[in-house]
Amino acid sequence: MFKTEPQSISSLLQKRQLKKAPAYQWQDLALRILQELNVPAFKKSAVFKVCRDNSKELVERALNETKELCKSGAKWQYFFKLIDNANKKKPG
């Protein structure tokens, strides 16, 4: 027979915790960008702001262009440059 040791309630609860899904679509997009572009921790909030304040299409286009055009160096910097240029071109 199997012999198991009793476990504490806290250890059982820790095993059971699930990752909470993002509340908004832009949060999921921001998490994807953080992972794909290896964004440093000090720029994490800026990525969330970009995703919240801009259209999903604009952000995804900038992400795709970054992955396609920036082969070396800090890809996240190129991404922010593309977003900044797109916002400068917006009327108003």
How much is the pLDDT for 23? 81
What is the DSSP code string of 7-57? --HHHHHHHH--PPPPSSHHHHHHHHHHHHTT--GGGHHHHHHHHHHS-HH
Place of tokens 């250890």: 11
Tally of domains in the chain:
1
Q: Is residue 6 a part of any domain in this protein?
A: no
pTM for the whole structure = 0.72
Place of tokens 């160096």: 73
Q: Is residue 13 a part of any domain in this protein?
A: no
- Tell me: the pLDDT tens digits for 21-65? 768 889 999 999 999 999 999 999 999 999 999 999 999 999 999
Full domain range(s) for residue 74: 22-89
Q: Is residue 66 a part of any domain in this protein?
A: yes
Q: Is residue 31 a part of any domain in this protein?
A: yes
Q: Is residue 70 a part of any domain in this protein?
A: yes
Burial class (CB in 10 A: 0-12, 13-18, 19+), 45: exposed
Q: Is residue 48 a part of any domain in this protein?
A: yes
